[in-house]
Structure 1
Amino acid sequence: MSAADVMSKADLFRALHHGRLPGDPLVLPGPWDAAAARVFEEAGFPALATPSAGVAASLGYADGRTPAGEMFAAVARIVRAVDVPVSADVEGGYGLAPRELVERLLETGAVGCNLEDSVDGVLRDPHEQADRLAGVREAAGGRLFVNARVDTFAHGDGDPSDAIARAAAYVAAGADCVYPIGAPPTVLPLLRAGIAGPLNAGGRVDGEGPSPAVLGGLGATRVTFGPGFQRFAAAALRAVGAELL
């Protein structure tokens, strides 16, 4: 893939996040391998977002334990299998310097990335994380859409004001979107009011949570599902296997 192809897909992916109406968020399913990616593309989704936990499961690793090389290789296979833009969840960045992280992401053909602001369940200092995001933005230019995960609700005290403050620092550092993972749907309007730019919310595929349309109405610009689809598929396989036995 040429640099021009990557840039055009990055621009397309970025454009998908803007001008969206309430109740019409960008829905990004999470393929864990190339076959799943093709299924989602054939279903009509305009872009995809890989889940690190789902990819880890497909490779036989626990969440957060996938070697960097294997994660990048898996992302590259997914990107190669489809024509739509693909964003990659690369956890905390695997300890790579921003420039090397960007280079390795671009080598996969990904046009976006998800970066966490916690390590082993402990929140990073928001100023240090903002500096890291600024380094990624500088190295990537416009070639990567940076989704900055805010882990206040997952690994902090769940204070919305802290999530908003972290989000503001990350947006100022150049993040294209922020993702307060684990934020209760009821808090989304408050987060939306306090956060500039696109806002990512987590959706569910088991019907237990609000639909993407409802999440969009509450303020979400886009909805991702983490490893939800991979776990749903695994449950279906277990059920089929049990019937066969």
Structure 2
Amino acid sequence: MTFHDLHHGDTPLLLPNAWDVGSAIALADCGFPAIGTTSFGVGAAVGHPDGARASRDSTMALAQALRRLPVFVSADIEDGYSDDPGEVAAYVANLGIAGINIEDSTAEALVDPERQAAKIMEIKRRNPEVFVNARIDNYWLGQDATAAAVLERAAAYAAAGADGVFIPGATEPNELRAFAAAISLPVNVLVVPGLTVADLGELGIRRVSTGSLPYRAAMDAAVEVAVAVREGRTPGSATPYPQVQARLTRYADLFRE
């Protein structure tokens, strides 16, 4: 079984997104066969807003820290942190993981699809085994947000060698079905409220990402615990300390083997 194979199973690949080693270990311990990173969560964990290529070093450090986990890892690398295809391909090579997610916008503006295709082509030339998930940001940014524009970009990225296409912001069932039917690669979407992973699979979707949702939910949970204690309420339950410590010990042991 390879990371590529997970995109062609009976059901869509549910890819939860971690923001640090602890969250990744917890997700791996829960039985997920593959874990993604979230540039939003990775940047936020060290005090940077999403985008602006601020998560470059943190993403590299996290990807390298997760390489020994017994799961496939895919990193969200924003736009590749460079306009130069060679620099992006070299960055991906140094990650040493199964996949990457690369978006076709910089500073919240869509880039020329030919420019993005050049990055994808160079990434695949240097890293043929890496699963390249090409994110299309038309709907996410509300720029040229038409199905025709999305399909045009998807075709360009497929021709450049991408292995999957990610369309965040696409949520309408009929449109999702049409995208899945028209695009030759596995289609990835974010979690869609009201639709289960099985529902999305019936529409032809092959991968479902949680994005920054787990990070944001974790922040809400942390605040709720502190507020509950302040107000004299009983805080919610949590994984016992010994269990979390045991996870971390097993992870540390991977580096002593």
* TM-score, shorter chain, exceeding 0.5: yes
CA distance in 1, matches of 2:43, 2:55: 9
**1:218 alignment partner in structure 2:** 203
Separation of aligned partners in 2, 1:122 and 1:101: 19
Once the two structures are superposed, the pairs formed by residues 10-49 of structure 1 within 5 Å of their partners are 12-18=2-8, 20-21=9-10, 24-49=11-36
**In the alignment, which of 122, 128, 146 is matched to residue 132 of structure 2?**
146
Matched, 1:232 2:217: yes
Structure 1 position 96, deviation (Å): 5.8
Alignment match, 2:115 = 128
Question: What does residue 197 of structure 1 align with?
Answer: 185
Where in structure 2 are there 5+ consecutive unaligned residues? 231-257
Compare CA radii of gyration and give the structure with the larger one. 2
Aligned to 1:58: 45
TM-aligned CA deviation for residue 107 of structure 1: 2.7
Task: Give the total of aligned pairs.
Answer: 227
Displacement of 1:99 in angstroms is 3.6
Question: What are the ranges of 5 or more consecutive residues in structure 1 without an aligned counterpart?
Answer: 1-10
Aligned residue for 2:75?
Answer: 88
TM-score, normalised via structure 1 length: 0.87
Q: Which amino acid aligns with 1:61?
A: H
Q: Tell me the SS of whatever aligns to 1:130.
A: helix
1:102-149 deviation line (CA, Å, top 9, x unaligned): 33333333211111101112111112211221111111122x110000
Aligned pair partner of 1:72 in 60, 70, 87: 60
Identity %: 37
**CA 1:67–1:234: 2 relative to 1, 3 Å:** closer
Please give the root-mean-square deviation of Cα atoms over the aligned residues, in Å: 1.6
Decide whether aligned partners of structure 1 residues 157 and 99 sit closer, same or farther in structure 2, where only a CA change above 3 A counts. closer
